[in-house]
Structure 1
Amino acid sequence: MVWAGVNEPLLIAGLGAVLIGALLPWLTSGMSTDRWLRAALALVGALACGVALQPLLRSSALSSTVSGAAASAVTDVPVPPAAAVLTSAACVDTLSRRMGELTAASRLASIVEAGTPEPADPIGLVSGSATGTYHAVAEDLVGVARRQGVPLFNRETLGSLDNLRKLADPKENAALGFAQSDILSVLARAADPADRKAATLLRLVLPLYAEEVHVLARTGVQSLADLAGRRVVTAASSQGSLHTAENLLRAAGVTPGQLDNQQTAAAALCSVLTGRADAMVIVAGKPTPHLASLDALLSHPARPLDQVHLMPLALPTDNVGYEAARIGPNDYAWVREPVDTLAVRALLMAFDFSPRRTDYQQRRCGQLKRLGALLQRELPALARPPHHAKWREVDPTRPVSGWRVDACSRMQARH
């Protein structure tokens, strides 16, 4: 050791000088008691010890500094956070933004340019929420109609039941609207006489496309029977989804603990993703932006999509207004395997203006006649891009039970 080779003798000499100074009277049997001599020996010894120990003190200080720095470095290393959690607020924000992006992208293909003035004496087309398939398909139809001089405009609504009520209300400027094929059974058993009467005042203009029933459920929920006593949600913006959920649960003999339709689509989805609800029912033509938005969570560290799945559905025994359908990975990036489900048929409906007893009825019936001719002529064009892919499913000859055909538009459907 380098320190020992040089400083150890000095340390010994220094300790010796201090010791001699302290013991000098005893060593000389009291003959030498000179205080100055004793002080000088102690001082020389202390200095020698200090010089000898200085390298050791420096090394110790350096070691302390290094140890402190190392400890500080360990403290400053970021501690891996606990498993990431998807909070409800973060989930709603993520899905809302993603739905907005998807909706904006679909609108880029719309033929109706922003800021286009409303035509004189317009025909109201009641569709659905701005993020839904109804609204996107309606935009295509409005664009084609206006190019042909038919003054159509698109109105955002709460969906099927809201549309049918607006169509039946003479105070609403709503001559056309979208509805689900299973909504007739809802109107037929409605407690409100006005709803029951509405069914007699409405007519089928054109059968459109399949609206798939999407049931996003927690992985522990494998069938409708598993929803007994549990919380089921639908979006406040989709009354049709609520009524389809009620129909299917009733047909399966299932009573949920709660059926909630008070949330936005994003909030309802997040209720299922975070475990605050057991399932959400969405009836919309695939791919709907509501469920397509879940791709924004594919890389989330909490892996919320591992906790949910699309629940399969079979045709109910007492089947009214439903058809078989399938949803798969080609429809939604987060779906792993194809899922068998149900679909309702989207219908283009109109108020019955055929009596033509008033000037208003005559004018509206004439407009519907022009619209019917336009649809017959433009359906092939609507089935091509940039229009919504659901137009490719439209078959005007497709049978639809329960609804009477509109006499003004005279679309050639068989029933």
Structure 2
Amino acid sequence: MIGWKWSAPLNRLGSLLLLVVLVSAASLKPATADEFEKNIVTGGAKGTYIQIGKDLAEVEAQCGLTLNVRESAGSLENLVAVKNRLFTQFGIVQSDVLDYVRSYSANDPELSRSLWGVRIMFPLYNEEIHVLAKRDINSLADLKGRKVAIGAADSGTYLTATLVLDILRVKKAERLAISSADALPKLMSGDIDAMFYVAGAPASLFSDVRIDGSQFHLVDLSEPQLRAAYLAAEIPSGTYPFQPEPVSTIAVKAVLMTFDFTPEKSEYHAESCKAAADLSHLLLENLDRLRATGHPKWKDVDLTALPPGWKVSDCVKRGMAKDYAFTCGPRAKPKQDVAAVPESASTDPEYLRLLKQRLGEQ
């Protein structure tokens, strides 16, 4: 993804992101008295993020650990939650949201301070940008004068849809900030004309057999302006019941985020750092099992594709070490056999070294 030149979206979405920061800071809750709580914020109930979160929770459960999977509005909320929400150590975020925040915070000291300490855990998979629309809409230019749902206001879909429409200068579409789950029935009933949804395919939301392929289709997103800013992607034919042909689109990277927990700072930081180290250890140990039995997107996970400008958590690196001390529960785990890591894949040499060691290249 190339560097962004933020213009119109910057003012609108920057104000929104700062509001999310303030709301999340106000939602802190006290710790429970009898156990240390661990949470991962994901997305909507029918999205891919929540399935990935459930897969990670199952990996932890194999060793007697509990990871609570929480629904959320999406990437913007998740990014802020790992910094400002107690007992929320993990969140999944779109890479274009990370690009946007990094660019915007460079000119906004308050926002920069609000997101200080947010760290990369692991890059995951590519998320396809879906635009489901009525059959008479053949390109995004056809949205002029039409009603289009662009996602809930604190979701990654909202940010991506806003940027995509602005890149293509689709100014006169009526943009409705409603969640994808709410948008789909409105589209099917004729109340709106199209909807954006950013999710790793196959997204269960679009597996609804009631979506009539004679009335609705996925819009081609192959415009050169979009390909210059996003990853090129394709949704294979038959991914969804209504989709007999492959569809060209664009994609962002899903990234698992955490916080820079400092064990010496407090007991909470020490426990949260251990939680991050444990999860990184378990993810690497069980990557083959996740690819075999988890959401299909685990097959596309590329742990070397670190987004630029963000640091990897030191707690994560602890768990990546081959000699990390971890005791699992009663159920045994099969030995992992993973392909080698490309030499030039990472911008963090220590992260790459640890990844190679754990994946058996050295």
TM, length-normalised to structure 1: 0.63
Counterparts of 1:123-138 in structure 2, within 5 Å, are 123-138=38-53
Equivalent in the alignment of 2:74: 159
Match of 1:374 among 282, 286, 294: 282
Equivalent in the alignment of 2:6: none
CA contact (8 A) 1:182 1:321 kept: no
Equivalent in the alignment of 1:176: 90
CA distance in 2, matches of 1:162, 1:320: 27
CA contact (8 A) 1:150 1:370 kept: no
Match of 1:233 among 149, 156, 168: 149
CA distance in 1, matches of 2:234, 2:147: 25
Equivalent in the alignment of 1:343: 251
Equivalent in the alignment of 2:130: 214
Match of 2:99 among 185, 190, 208: 185
Higher RCO, 1 or 2 (CA under 8 Å, sep at least 6)?
A: 2
CA distance in 1, matches of 2:211, 2:140: 26
Letter in 2 for 1:166: A
Match of 2:170 among 254, 260, 263: 254
Counterparts of 1:6-25 in structure 2, within 5 Å, are none
Cα gap change, 1:194/1:146 in structure 2, threshold over 3 Å: closer, same or farther? farther
CA contact (8 A) 2:43 2:49 kept: yes
CA contact (8 A) 2:82 2:89 kept: yes
CA contact (8 A) 1:136 1:388 kept: yes
CA contact (8 A) 1:269 1:280 kept: yes
Deviation at 1:225, TM superposition (A): 2.2
**SS in structure 1 of the partner of residue 210 of structure 2:** helix
Which digits, 9 at most, give the CA deviation of each residue in 1:129-167, with x for residues without a partner?
Answer: 121111111111011113224442211111111111211
Deviation at 1:186, TM superposition (A): 3.4
More displaced stretch, 135-144 vs 306-315: 306-315
**Highest CA radius of gyration, 1 or 2?**
1
CA contact (8 A) 2:118 2:258 kept: yes
Letter in 2 for 1:314: S
Cα gap change, 1:297/1:215 in structure 2, threshold over 3 Å: closer, same or farther? closer
Aligned length: 287
Equivalent in the alignment of 1:322: 230
Deviation at 1:356, TM superposition (A): 4.0
CA distance in 2, matches of 1:292, 1:286: 10
Structure 1: runs of 5 or more not aligned: 1-118, 299-304
CA distance in 2, matches of 1:320, 1:155: 34
Equivalent in the alignment of 2:57: 142
Letter in 2 for 1:398: A
Match of 1:353 among 237, 258, 261: 261
CA contact (8 A) 1:350 1:406 kept: yes
Equivalent in the alignment of 2:329: none
Counterparts of 1:45-84 in structure 2, within 5 Å, are none
Deviation at 1:284, TM superposition (A): 0.7
- Runs (4+) off by over 6 Å: 190-193, 318-321
Determine if the alignment matches structure 1 residue 401 to structure 2 residue 305: no
Deviation at 1:194, TM superposition (A): 5.6
Structure 2: runs of 5 or more not aligned: 1-33, 322-344, 348-362
Match of 1:313 among 215, 221, 244: 221
Deviation at 1:279, TM superposition (A): 1.5
CA contact (8 A) 2:148 2:174 kept: yes
Equivalent in the alignment of 1:272: 187
Which digits, 9 at most, give the CA deviation of each residue in 1:225-253, with x for residues without a partner?
Answer: 22233321034397111111001111112
**SS in structure 2 of the partner of residue 384 of structure 1:** helix
Determine if the alignment matches structure 1 residue 292 to structure 2 residue 207: yes
CA contact (8 A) 2:237 2:247 kept: no
The answer to which structure has the higher helix fraction is 1
Equivalent in the alignment of 1:389: 296
Deviation at 1:254, TM superposition (A): 1.9
**SS in structure 1 of the partner of residue 128 of structure 2:** strand
CA distance in 2, matches of 1:318, 1:336: 24
Cα gap change, 1:297/1:179 in structure 2, threshold over 3 Å: closer, same or farther? closer
Equivalent in the alignment of 1:37: none
Equivalent in the alignment of 1:84: none
Percent identical pairs in the alignment equals 36
TM, length-normalised to structure 2: 0.72
Equivalent in the alignment of 1:78: none
Which digits, 9 at most, give the CA deviation of each residue in 1:251-305, with x for residues without a partner?
Answer: 112214321123562x412333344322100111111121111x2244xxxxxx3
CA distance in 2, matches of 1:255, 1:201: 36
CA distance in 2, matches of 1:213, 1:264: 12
**SS in structure 2 of the partner of residue 236 of structure 1:** coil
Equivalent in the alignment of 2:333: none
Letter in 1 for 2:176: D
CA distance in 1, matches of 2:53, 2:179: 24
**SS in structure 1 of the partner of residue 254 of structure 2:** strand
More displaced stretch, 332-341 vs 225-234: 225-234
Cα gap change, 1:195/1:145 in structure 2, threshold over 3 Å: closer, same or farther? farther
**SS in structure 2 of the partner of residue 405 of structure 1:** coil
Which digits, 9 at most, give the CA deviation of each residue in 1:154-212, with x for residues without a partner?
Answer: 1111111111121121x432111111111023324379866444444211111111111
Letter in 2 for 1:330: G
Deviation at 1:320, TM superposition (A): 8.1
